[in-house]
Amino acid sequence: MLIKILGTGCAKCQRLEQLAREVVAECALDATFEHVRDMDSIMAYPIMSTPALVVDEDVKCSGRIPSREEIAGWLRPA
């Protein structure tokens, strides 16, 4: 699983990455993280604001920090 955090590195972006990493650890998932800070790369995604969470190239949320439960629901295998 590839998890991308889209954002320039602000506190909200860092918090989203921290939460996602905690959920991955708690659920014992195998995931690779990438923090996308380049604006051209961020603009390639269909989002209007950051931070954004992308899982395997599927945008899960943008413009807010989701709850731990939301993140867990998106990351758990179907």
Residue in the structure block whose two tokens are 């269909």: 46
Domain membership of residue 43 as a residue range: 2-75
Render the burial of 8-37: b for 16+ CB within 10 Å, e for the rest.
eeeeebeebbebbeebbeeeeeebeeebbe
pTM, to two decimals: 0.93
- pLDDT attached to residue 60: 97
The set of catalytic residues is 10, 13
Residue in the structure block whose two tokens are 């899960």: 60
Three-class SS of residue 60? strand
Pair type for strands 32-36 and 2-6: parallel
- pLDDT attached to residue 43: 95
Q: How many domains does the chain have?
A: 1
CATH number at residue 29: 3.40.30.10
Interval 7-59: pLDDT, tens: 998 999 999 999 999 999 999 999 999 999 999 999 999 999 999 999 999 99
- pLDDT attached to residue 78: 53
